[in-house]
Structure 1
Amino acid sequence: HDMTGVDRVRKRQQNTGKGIKVGVVDSGIDYTHPALGGCFGDGCRVAFGHDFVGDNYLGNGRSQPEPDIDPRDTCNGHGTHVAGIIGADDAEFQGVAPHVTLGAYRVFGCKGSSETDVIIAGMEKAFLDGMDIINMSLGGGSSWAEYPDAAAAARLAERGVVVVASMGNDGDKGMWEASSPGLGPNVIAVGSVDSMRYQATGFTFRIAHPLSVEYLSDKETALDINNAAIASAQSTSDPEGMGCQGMDKSLSGKLVLVKRGSCTFNIKAENAKKAGATALIVYNNIASDVFIPSVTSADSIPVVGITQANGEKLLVLLSGEKANDVVASFPKTMITFDNPNGGHMSRFSSYGPGPELDLKPDVAAPGGLIRSTYPVPMGSYRTLSGTSMSSPYVAGAAALYLAAKGKSEHAPTLVREMFQTTARPIKQGGGTDRALASIVRQGAGLLDIEAAINATTLVEPSRLALNDSMHGGSSKGMAGAHTANFVVRNTLGVPLRYTVRHLPALASQGHLGDIKVLSKPNFQDAPASVVVIAADNSNPLAEFTVPANGATAVTITVSPPNKLSPSERWMYGGFIELVDSQQRTLHIPYMGMNGDLHAQPILDRDGFPSLTRMLRSALDENTVNSMSLQRPANPVEDQGQQEPKDSAALGILPNSWITYLGRHSNDLEDYAFDFAFDGTYTPMGLAKKGLFNPNLGSDSTTLDLLEGNNSAKDDVADGKVVVLPDGYYRLRAQALRPFGDEERPSDWDVWLSPLLRL
């Protein structure tokens, strides 16, 4: 809370979020937890909610929902952890806004995932219950703003609800991984920053230089072991100490250190148990975070996982002269650890931008190694990481802001704008602390709720998405330059003078060539050229004055960095810093692409797309293939001898209506989209009117959060579905290019299948 100003807001302003209602669309909340009020319903901390799915629901068509009125989370934990970050309140732990009222909208079962129609039903119920803020720590990477849950979230924001969503945990996949619903317009997508310090289970050593080592296990409570000797499983027959082939009997009564890999954790644990070991310590075989070794055997000895770095430290100690003095104890209480990556973006936090160069994430908040509430049957508390943790942090901060400033129909825009302009830019980390992290990673920077509440200047818009070199605002006389405008409003009764400074951030490259997505983006220190002028002046500004309770329009001209090749489509960006005469600082993030995103290929990769048999082998012009249809009809054959007489598009095949493929999808050579074809189609005119959307399996919501009827009806009689007559056909796949016009044929990337005979 010190990183974000939450502790100062609560202490100095006595602000706890009281009077604000926050809905949690997640796996439910264990409202029996003392920190979450201990009860459900009127007069309780968790006063609203509904279970839309039941314990056994798995999502993705694998099971049917079994709704009930009790949204308690006893078996998943995710929603309870999220709720605690927002508003837990007990002697051990306090959330961001400990006196908010919570709503629990359960859309996940004990395991598995969920489905879009279920999620939207939860969003709708939260709205009907009067939630001021809705948190959605969920989503799928590399999505689009038009995806149904993102569109529904945007509709809620239009109706005055502050919607906060996780950015995603796909930082290892590279750029373009912004997820829905966070991509929705005016939905606040939140990236993750690692905490400076964190609490976790750990063990300590009784050696000359005390050492504490963090561990994780699949047990719900900390291990209770004291003064136990540690020994390595390394031996002549097992030089790497994998523990897969049996162990020396001299390990009796000791904690055994083994390396991850080569065999299952069950085998390692069984071998250690046979050797008389008290517990098993498994260190990672890659440089990554601490992990949980899952053991399924009911009578296994305790097994814990530690990092590769800590495992290698232990091996050095165990190979020294005082190896026999390496004795460990596992305290029941949590140990506080310093985080070497504290204050920097979490490694897992997804990169933006949005697929059409939306500036995402909007803001970042603590999400790495966060301790919060957990279901009482599962141990009551746990440390977790993810943008699922940073999103509720911002939701809680939004509650503090509304409690301080009051509710309004403009709250979604106002909260996002104030959070963005008062956020603090984040440095890259990893030994490059002099450079600011790319805007596609950090968005507007680290949340500062104290600065947001105390701000006396409003900047509109609070972010400047400059688009690419061909589609952004142009500047006369400056080739490739972009212009953007913002208004600075002074809410004080005295004039304020602002000094202006440009803070460049690292440029980032997400593609290698036209198609290949880099799992680790390339970075360059390549500042853009930025000129700031007042709207009524043509001279560059270093400072300007805004009158009391007045506003001044400002224009910036941004020229892409000369050292970045347009053919490589680098993203560049940074901040316009404003410091007023009372020493309050604001930052306006900007971001653009040097290149033409519209020209990037979508469907013309060599060999892909292709029409395939069920065994994934491609059809071509020289083979004949038969397919069985779901309804009685003539067989469909691949036939290369005769073109269709009329090449006009007839309609859209059922179940192929709008497929949301992310920016990464055309790098997956084995990606296949299967749908059932029964010899019918929906005429183009009806399809364009949005008569159905198979992404949802239920009828339209009461609030019409999505346009059109979401139910596909196989009704030949009224003309919605037409049976194809015998003849020759081709399937056409088409994708609208970024910034394209649906009515302009040249803006579609088109692929035609081999000829089919019906």
Structure 2
Amino acid sequence: MRISAILSALAAATLVSAGQYHSPSSTLSSVKVSPGGYIIEYHDTIAHMDAYSALRFHQVDYNVRHEYSVFHGSAISVNSAHDGPAIAAIPGIKNVWPITLHAMPKVLASKLNMTDPQVVSDHRMTGVDIVHIKLKLTGRGVKVGVLDTGIDYKHPAFANPGSRAGCFGPTCRVAYGWDFVGDAYNGTNAPVPGPNPMDCFGHGTHVAGIIGANALNLTADPKPVQPFVGVAPEATLGAYRIFGCEGSSGDDVILAAMERAAADGMDIINMSLGGGSSYRSSPTAVLGDKLVARGVALSAAAGNDGSQGVWMVSDTGLGDLSYSVASIDNIYGFYNSFTYAGDAYPYLQSNAWGQPIFLPANATLLPLFESNGKLSDGCDAALYKAVAKSIKGKIVLVYGDVTRCRSDARGTLAKKAGAIGMLFQTTPLGLAALLGAPEFPMASIENKAGDSLLAAYKANPRATFTWSHQASNFLVEGGGAPSDFTSHGLDGELRSKPDIAAPGGNILSTYPLAKGGYALLSGTSMATPYVSGSHALYIQAKHTKRRGDEIRAVFKNTATRTTNVGSKSLSSVARQGAGLINVLNAILTTASISPDHIDLLDTNHLLKTTTIVITNSGQTTETFTLSHIPADALNSYPTHNSFPLPTPIIEADYATVSFSNPKVVIPAGQSATITLRFTEPKAGKSSQFPIYSGYIIAKPASKDGIPLHVPYTGLKGDFSQVPIMDTDSGFPAIHNFDLVNGTSTLLSKNGGYTFDMTTHVPVIMTRLGSHTPSAEIRIFESESDTFVGFMASKVSGNAVGPAGRSLNTDEKGTLVFSNWIWDGSIVTPAGGDNPTAMTQPKTLSSGTYRIVVASQKKFTHGDYPADYEVFDMGSVKF
């Protein structure tokens, strides 16, 4: 009876289609896969045992790593010669992914020192301070699962009231959790799971502290330099450790932790994880949407690739129902300061000095000027000689450009010349961390502070300094604006991501006790838990648990729109999403708008007409006035460049919007539908593909009514013509790779090259500047010009399938591209209803073959060659 049931299920599965194999994204230098490891998703009618029977029937030798219920699949290690495409072709298998390794979450060093006194004033930016004080909300009764490096649950900031230390277990703040990996796990070795999710790295403890630490009135050491409290200081935490003490983690482990967190009853799952620019088909994004549909909220980091340009939002948060969270810099800081000419200025002392600066009260300023009258960077020794008679006993002001030399070199020159201190005017803004020169007072000051000092000096060169003896609160230059590191959207389908922003720049939180107890870090990793904590406050306030995407919509409706530093126009939706989360507004609003965002797509698919629905959940009739506020447009292709600019050019390319009814009266408990008509911007060149955006505003007439908004995004131009291959940098390219010496030689694309495929093989190098539904390397038999298959590389996988864009450079500043080392193997379409299903690789017989790099254009059907960027690499013989 059992065998009959299995055969019936598999027969039904064959009627569906062959499964889809998702090639690993080779567009990021950091992407690695676990050899022989695969995540498989079954068709809905297939049970675990049915799938395992099918694998054995097809002679697949495997071990099960993890089983998933909500995801409906397994992670396996394959010991036989079967690869991903072969597994995907087995009846009953719906999707197959290679197990991808995710690097340990990386955060950015703060612009401040970890030991500097700080005040967690980010709550003033979001209304959380009022929610705590007036509404008395703390997240009590809400469960937040932290998938990360673990939590140092012994930290006193996680202790129960009256206790001096935290604990782990049912009666503790960190009440749930599991260690999925063990200390020694690095992604390439076998995990050793256990019950103790203690953090030995630090990231997870910092994240957990943002969600729910309480560092007020601590009686046990260590105490923070400035008391602070997390967003939801009484929320129950779950610690799901998916990283060891260093290295990476496989997404098979991450999926298991997601399901465990959901099974433990977590209301919110926090995933402050990095990821690549890809599509929403990653396993974590797929499972995320399934969990949200079951009532769990998912908060994921948008990524820290702001310096890489557009199309770089991380993949975990790309699900339709999850949060993708951008970062906003903290608006306040608690700094040491000095007074000059009657005005106070914050400063950040150098690492070499490492303490507050106290200089004589009669010390005066000496700006160091170039011959053209501009402030010097202080790298030229001759300039110090020129002011030798006046520099002694002075505090030198220099421009903080680091192009020519470091701060220690400048400090040494100034000290040798007789100066008693040095101030750096930071460029472009903020307070920069300086190495400094030993035993010489040096500090960075904000850019605007440098301009003010120069103006005051010119008015009175004899003005003196007064140095503070205690720290004070200051508005931070650049605070309240999108962090420069936060990743730009949109995604590869012109979907509006990120969704929302939260404080993530310069955030003080808990750190493992063995590492000092507290740390000041920056990153979307810090913004993401802020949203998770906010979600907990909302659930507590409403005494009910709505679906995660429904609460996300409320936060998006009521967020605070932000501007870039020094700008009066709103920052692009592709950077801040709906804006900075405003928890107080979200809790107090009695109205909502759906949908929570509008994707206008491109010129050829422009959503010219759409509708929004405004619902009045209040007790009285409300009148709403509709309006439109445009946001910055982002031009990444001003010179028709093939790779997007690292920093897009901001333009005033504004769409126009008309309303079927600019004012609506909605009775209590009722809704109204308004038709919107969009016209794309007149400004901006369609050949440069500017991303334009803005907000639809619904302002209530009542005095206490909270305005609502919906963000929209669009692209002027034909999305299918956005460059994919980085031809400006010489890609694609073909090289002759010497397997013995490990060297390669660039070849022309004329072809006619012979390889023995033993010591010398061809290598195809590609570099993608934007997404493609299918990044392909096609192989043709030269004489007949017959297509024989797609290149199969043992190193890089099969050269067919969706791919996100490449990073511009890696952390070392090296250009990022992909290498496809070819040994003569190909894969071919498996047939059936699924056009992406491929056969097992096979090796071509000796002959002459033409290699063609082809990338499917976005928003196309995939007809070859009309719908592709095509590059003929010439013929090779082996």
Query: Residue 456 in 1 paired to residue 590 in 2?
Result: yes
* Alignment correspondent of 1:660: 803
CA distance in structure 1 between the aligned counterparts of 2:531 and 2:622, rounded to whole angstroms: 29
CA distance in 1, matches of 2:488, 2:587: 28
Q: Is the 8 A contact 1:469 1:596 kept in 2?
A: yes
**1:567 has 2:682 as partner:** no
In 2, Cα distance between equivalents of 1:572 and 1:503:
12
Q: Which amino acid aligns with 2:792?
A: L
Q: Judging changes above 3 Å, is the alpha-carbon distance between structure 1 residues 241 and 108 closer, same or farther for their aligned structure 2 residues?
A: farther
Residues of 2 paired with 1:116 and 1:231: CA distance?
Answer: 58
Query: Secondary structure in 2 aligned to 1:126?
Result: helix
Instruction: Find the aligned partners of 1:637 and 1:683 in 2 and give their Cα distance.
Output: 20
Cα shift at 1:397: 0.6
How far does the alpha carbon of each residue in 1:74-113 deviate from its partner, in whole angstroms, 9 at most, with x for none? Answer: 4x43322222211111211111111111222334455566
Counterpart in 1 of 2:206?
81
Instruction: Identify if the C-alpha distance between structure 1 residues 671 and 6 changes in structure 2 by more than 3 Å, giving closer, same or farther.
Output: closer
The verdict on how the C-alpha distance between 1:274 and 1:108 changes in structure 2, with shifts beyond 3 A counting, is: farther
The answer to which of 662-671 and 608-617 deviates more is 662-671
Please report the TM-score for the alignment, with normalisation by the length of structure 2: 0.68
1:418 deviates by 0.7
Of residues 325, 331, 343, the one that matches 2:480 is 343
Name the counterpart of 1:46: 174
What is residue 192 of structure 1 aligned with on the other side? 327
Report the CA distance shift for 1:146/1:208 in structure 2 as closer, same or farther (over 3 A). Answer: same
Cα distance in structure 2, aligned partners of 1:683 and 1:642: 14
Shift of 1:558: 0.3
Quick check: 1:608 aligned with 2:731? yes
Q: Distance in 1 between matches of 2:338 and 2:502?
A: 30
| In structure 2, C-alpha distance between the alignment counterparts of 1:508 and 1:723, rounded to whole Å | 46
Counterpart of 2:219? none
What is the rounded CA distance, in whole Å, between the counterparts of 2:820 and 2:394 in structure 1?
Answer: 56
Aligned pairs for 1:523-672 (under 5 A) are 523-533=650-660, 541-582=661-702, 583-603=705-725, 605=727, 607-614=730-737, 615=744, 617-622=746-751, 624-626=753-755, 628-629=757-758, 643-645=782-784, 647-654=786-793, 655-657=796-798, 658=801, 660-662=803-805, 671-672=816-817
Given that 2:736 and 2:761 are in contact with CA atoms closer than 8 Å, whether structure 1 keeps it comes out as no
Distance 1:604 1:227, change over 3 A: closer
The aligned residue for residue 24 of structure 1 is 146
The amino acid of 1:346's aligned partner reads: S
Report 1:208-607 matches (<5 A). Answer: 209=342, 211-215=344-348, 223=355, 283=424, 286-293=427-434, 306-307=444-445, 309=447, 335-406=472-543, 408=545, 411-430=547-566, 432-433=567-568, 435-473=569-607, 482-492=608-618, 494-512=620-638, 513=640, 515-533=642-660, 541-582=661-702, 583-603=705-725, 605=727, 607=730
1:29, distance to aligned residue in structure 2 (A): 2.3
Distance 1:402 1:562, change over 3 A: same
Secondary structure (helix, strand or coil) at the match of 1:23 reads strand
Q: CA deviation at 1:46?
A: 1.9
Alpha-carbon distance in 2 for matches of 1:645, 1:269 = 70
Quote the residue 1:7 is aligned against.
129
**SS of the residue 1:520 aligns to:** coil
Change in CA separation of 1:690 and 1:48 when aligned onto 2, cut-off 3 Å: farther
Alignment of 1:107-126 (within 5 A): 107-108=242-243, 116-126=251-261
Equivalent residue, structure 2, for 1:715: none
Aligned counterparts of 1:318 and 1:596: Cα–Cα separation in 2: 54
Q: Distance in 1 between matches of 2:526 and 2:192?
A: 27
For 2:186 and 2:450, the matched residues in 1 are separated by: 36
**Structure 1 residues 224 and 50 mapped into 2: Cα distance closer, same or farther (>3 Å)?**
farther
CA distance in 2, matches of 1:9, 1:265: 43
| Aligned residues of 2:633 and 2:652 also touching (Cα < 8 A) | yes
Amino acid at match of 1:292: A
Change (3 A) 1:411 1:145: same
Aligned partner letter, 1:457? A
Cα distance, 1:316 vs. partner?
9.9
Aligned to 1:477: none
CA contact (8 A) 1:71 1:106 kept: yes
State the distance in 1 between where 2:751 and 2:494 align.
42
How many angstroms does 1:273 deviate by?
A: 11
Cα distance in structure 2, aligned partners of 1:748 and 1:290: 47
Alpha-carbon spacing, 1:253–1:138, altered in 2? closer, same or farther (3 Å): farther
**2:157–2:215 Cα contact (<8 Å) kept:** yes
Residue 363 (structure 1) shift: 1.4
2:175–2:236 contact (8 Å) kept in structure 1: yes
Deviation (angstroms), 1:313:
7.9
Distance 1:627 1:439, change over 3 A: farther
Contact 2:368–2:397 at 8 Å: present in 1 too? no
State the partner residue of 2:288. 153
Cα distance 1:285–1:629, how it changes in 2: closer, same or farther (>3 A)?
A: farther
Provide closer, same or farther for how the CA distance between residues 623 and 682 of structure 1 changes in structure 2, counting only shifts above 3 A: closer
Distance 1:267-1:581 versus aligned 2 partners, 3 A rule: closer
Instruction: Please give the alpha-carbon distance, in whole angstroms, between the structure 1 residues aligned to 2:832 and 2:349.
Output: 52
**Which amino acid is the alignment partner of residue 461 of structure 1?**
P
1:105 equivalent in structure 2: 240
- Cα distance, 1:517 vs structure 2: 1.8
The answer to whether residue 825 in structure 2 is matched with residue 684 in structure 1 is no
How far apart in 1 are the matches of 2:289 and 2:787?
35
Which deviations, in whole Å up to 9, do the C-alpha atoms of 1:565-603 show, x marking residues without a partner?
322322223222112343332111122222111122323
Q: Any idea what the Cα deviations from partners look like across 1:301-342, whole Å, max 9, x if unmatched?
A: 69976247467888999999769x7575775xx542212333
Q: Aligned partner of 1:416: which letter?
A: R
Task: Give, in whole Å, the separation in 1 of the partners of 2:177 and 2:803.
Answer: 30
Q: CA deviation at 1:451?
A: 1.8
Could you report, residue by residue, the CA deviation over 1:41-90 in whole angstroms, capped at 9, with x for unpaired residues?
A: 2122222334455556666x6x876655433334x433222222111112
**Identity rate, percent:** 34
Q: Relative to 1, partners in 2 of residues 1:495 and 1:312: Cα closer, same or farther, differing over 3 Å? A: closer
Classify 1:418/1:315 alpha carbon distance in 2 versus 1 (closer, same or farther; 3 Å): closer
Structure 2 residue runs without a partner (length 5+): 1-122, 160-164, 217-226, 370-375, 738-743, 765-778
- Aligned-residue offset at 1:722: 2.5
Instruction: Give the partner amino acid of 2:444.
Output: I
Q: Secondary structure at the match of 1:355?
A: coil
Partner Cα distance (1:314, 1:637) in 2:
57
Amino acid at match of 1:567: S
Q: Quick one: distance in 2 between partners of 1:98 and 1:122?
A: 23
Alpha-carbon distance, 1:398 to partner: 0.7
Opposite residue 365 of structure 1, the aligned amino acid is A
Contact 2:332–2:474 (Cα < 8 Å) also in 1: yes
Q: Whole-Å Cα distance in 1 between the matches of residues 256 and 780 of structure 2?
A: 50
TM-score (norm 1): 0.78
The code of the aligned residue for 1:734 comes to A
In structure 1, what is the Cα distance between the partners aligned to 2:351 and 2:179?
27
